[in-house]
Structure 1
C-alpha cells in the first residue's frame, strides 16, 4: 500500500518537474483556459503548450473539456493552487535565508 502511495507521489512530482508545466498550472489556477489563451499568456509556442498539457492530462492533473471546436483546460483538483503557493513560499524562505547569509558575509568582509 505504501509503495503505491510513494509511486503516486513520485509520478505526480515528475509531472510537475518542468518549468512550462508549472507556468501552465499557474495560469489555470486563475481560471479555465484554452490552449491559445495559455499560449498567449505564457508567450510560448502552441505545440509546446499542447505537449505539456498532454503530460498533465495523462497524470490526471488537468482535465480538458470540449466546447465547440476548442478544448478548455482546468485543474482537476483545486488543491494544486495551494501546492503552487506552498512551493512559492518555500522558494521565498530559501531566498530570504540566502539574502541573510550574503548580508552576514558582507558585514564580515568589511
Structure 2
C-alpha cells in the first residue's frame, strides 16, 4: 500500500474521532432523521451538531436531503453499520478483558 492510502485511512478514522459524530452515526442506523430529531436525542447545541454533521457530510459517510424547510440526514451506505458493529465487538472484548484483570487484581489484594 502507498503512503497516500495509509494517509486516507488515517483521515477516515480521524473523521470518526468525535463522540457526537459516533452518536449521530449510531442514531442514523435506524434510518434517516431530520436535524431536529438529532438535536433532541443528542442534547447538544445546534451549532455543535451542525459542525459535526458538516464533517460527516464532507467525508461522504452521510447524505443530507432537504424536504421543505427540513434537512434529513441518512447513512450513505450499509458499510457504516457494519463498521459500528465491528467497533462494538472490539470494544466489548477489550472491556471484558479489563474486567477480568480488575477481578484478578482485587482477588490478589486479599
TM-score w.r.t. the length of structure 1 is: 0.92
How far apart are the structure 1 equivalents of 2:39 and 2:30? 15
- Point out 4+ residue stretches in structure 1 off by more than 3 angstroms: none
Structure 1: state its 5+ residue gaps.
none
Match of 1:92 in 2: 92
Alignment of 1:14-53 (within 5 A): 14-53=14-53
SS of aligned partner of 1:65: strand
Q: Output the aligned Cα RMSD.
A: 1.2
2:61 pairs with 1:61:
yes
Match of 1:11 in 2: 11
Number of positions where the alignment pairs a residue of Structure 1 with one of Structure 2: 110
Alignment of 1:64-83 (within 5 A): 64-83=64-83
SS of aligned partner of 2:3: helix
How far off is 1:109 after superposition? Answer: 1.5
Structure 2: state its 5+ residue gaps.
none
TM-score w.r.t. the length of structure 2 is: 0.92
SS of aligned partner of 1:73: strand
How far apart are the structure 1 equivalents of 2:77 and 2:89? 20
